[in-house]
Amino acid sequence: MTKLLATVTKELLLLRRDRGGLLVLFVMPAVLVLVITLVQENVLKTVGESETRILLVNSDDGELGELIERKLQDSGKLTVHKHIEEGDIDERQAAAAIARGDFQFCVVLPQGLTQAVRRKARQTVRESLSLAPETGEQPVAAPVIRIYFDPAVLGGYRSAVRNSLQLMVYGIEVNEKMVALEELLPKKISATLQKEMGDFMPEAFTLPPAEFQMDWSDSPLLAFEEAAASTGRDGPTPTSVQQNVPAWTLFGIFFIVLPLAGSLIKERRDGTFFRLLSMPVPIFTLIVGKIFAYVLVCLVQIIVIFCIGRFGLPLLGTPSLDMGPQLAAIVIVALSAVLAATGYGTMLGTVLRTYEQASVVGPISVVIAAALGGVMVPVYAMPTMMQKISVLSPLSWGLDAFLDLFVRGGNLQTVWPEIAALLSFFIANLAVARIYFLRRTQYKG
C-alpha cells in the first residue's frame, strides 16, 4: 500500500510540475466547453432548437392582443420580451433590435386589433348568411400582424414560425366567427321564418341567441403524431449545454492519453523504468499507482468542467447544465469513462516507442473518436451510416450514457451497456499493454 501511495504521490507531483500537461488537461477542455457551447447556442437559436428570445409589440388594447401574448408565452420554447432597456417599444425600435440580432423575431400586433377582428368576423358571417348590412356599416379591411425576423434565422425555422402564428390566428378567427354566428344565426332563422310564414308569424317573435360550445381545441376532429422512422437514438434532444459540456469533458479526459502515454515513454527512454523493474515492487503496483493518479486528475477535471456548465455558462446567457437526479449513475459513468481513457493512454504508452509517436497518434486518435462519437456534431445530426460507425467510439459510449442521464431520464439500469463497454475497453487496453510489456522485457537489451 505504501508503494502504491508513493507512486500516486510521485505521479501527482510530476503532473503538478508539468504546466503543459495541466494546460491540456484543464484549460483546453474548459475553453472548448465555453466557446463551443456559446457558438452552438447561437446556432441552435437560429434553427429554433434552443429557447428563442422574441419581441412582442402589442399595440392592441383588447382581449385578442392579450390572448396572442398568452399563447406565445405558453408555447414553451419562446421567451417573450415586451420592453427593451426598461421602456416600451414601438415597431421601429423593435425592427432595429431585430436587425441588431438582439432577438430572433418580433411580432407586432396593430392598434385596434380586437375591435377590427370582431367587426370583420361579424361582417364576414353576415355576408355568408346573406343578411342585410347594418345601418352605416363600411367594409372592414383584415388587420395585419407583422413579423420581423433576424436575418440569421434560417428559412426552415422562419416557415415554422409563420405556420405556427398562422395556425394561432386561424384558431382565433374561427372562434370570433363562431361568436358572430351565435348572434347572427338566430336573426337569419327569424328572417327566413318571417319570409316563409308571412302573416302567420307572430309579430313579437324573436329567437334567443344560439349558444355554441366554443372549446373546439379540446375536441379535435383529426390528430397527428410523430413516429420514429428508425430504431436508435430517438427521444428528446439535448440543449447545447447538455450536449457540449459532457461531450467536451469526455474529449478533455481522453486527452489524458498524451501526458499518460508520454510519462510511460519518458520513463522507458530515461531508463527510470529499467530501474523500477529492478526494484522489489510489482509492475502491477506501479501501473495501478500511475492510473490512479491520472484517474484522480480526470475526476477533478470533470468536476471543474461540470461546474462551468452548471454555474459559469448561465452567466454568459446559456441555460444551466441540468444533470438530472441520477448522481450515483453519473459518478459511475464518469469513472468508467476515465478508466477507459487511462487504459487507452497506458496502452499507447506501452505500445508506442517514442514521445513523438504518442504526441501524434494520441491526439489524432482522440479527435477522430470524438468526431465519430458525436462530440463535435451530435450523433442524431449525423448521416445514418456515420451514426452506425459512431457506436465504435468510446467517446460515443460515454456521451450517450451522459445524455441518457441528463436528457432522457435514464438511470443506472439504462446506461449499464455503455458502462460495460467503457470498462471492457479499459480492460482490453490493459491486456494489450501487458502483452507488449512482456514482449519488451523479453527483448530489452
Chain residues that interact with another protein, rule: CB under 8 A: 2-3, 6-7, 9-10, 13-14, 17-18, 270-272, 274-282, 441-445
User: How far is the C-alpha of 64 from the C-alpha of 114, rounded, in Å?
Assistant: 5
Residue with Cβ nearer another protein (2 or 219): 2
- In the complex with another protein, the residue whose CB is nearer, 19 or 100, is 19
Q: Which helix (H) or strand (E) holds 27?
A: none
Question: Least CB distance from residue 266 to another protein, whole Å?
Answer: 9
The full length of the chain comes to 445
State in angstroms the smallest separation of the CB of 3 from another protein.
6
7 versus 244: smaller Cβ distance to another protein: 7
Nearest to 337 by CA among 254, 244, 431: 254
Is the separation of the CB atoms in 157 and 135 below 8 Å?
Answer: no
Residue placing its CB nearer to another protein in the complex, 151 or 445: 445
Shortest Cβ 429–another protein spacing (Å):
24
Within 10 angstroms of residue 18's Cβ, the number of other Cβ atoms is: 15
Three-state secondary structure call for residue 159: helix
Facing residues of 55 across strands? 81, 106
- The DSSP 8-state label assigned to residue 78 in this structure reads E
Q: How far is the CB of 21 from another protein (least distance, A)?
A: 10
Q: C-beta of 10: minimal distance to another protein in Å?
A: 5
Q: Smallest distance, Å, CB 13 to another protein? A: 6
Q: Judging by DSSP bridges, how do beta strands 105-109 and 52-58 pair with one another?
A: parallel
Is the CB of 154 or the CB of 277 nearer to another protein?
A: 277
**Helices (H) and strands (E) in the chain — how many of each?**
16, 6
DSSP character string of 294-320: HHHHHHHHHHHHHHIIIIIGGGGTSPP
The least distance separating another protein from the CB of residue 318, rounded to whole angstroms, comes to 38
**Least distance from C-beta 438 to another protein, angstroms?**
9
| DSSP summary character for residue 316 | G
User: For residue 430, which phi and psi values (nearest 5 degrees)?
Assistant: -65, -35
AA letter at 2? T
Cα-trace Rg, the chain: 33
Sorted by sequence, the CB contacts under 8 Å of residue 365 that are 6+ apart come out as 257
Nearer to another protein, 77 or 275 (CB): 275
Q: How far is the CB of 269 from another protein (least distance, A)?
A: 8
Nearer to another protein, 9 or 75 (CB): 9
Q: Residue 381 or 435: which CB sits closer to another protein?
A: 435
- Count CB neighbours of 129 within 10 A: 16
Closest CA to 42 of 310, 246, 316: 316
CB nearer to another protein: give 15 or 153.
15
In the block, cell 396593430 appears at 110
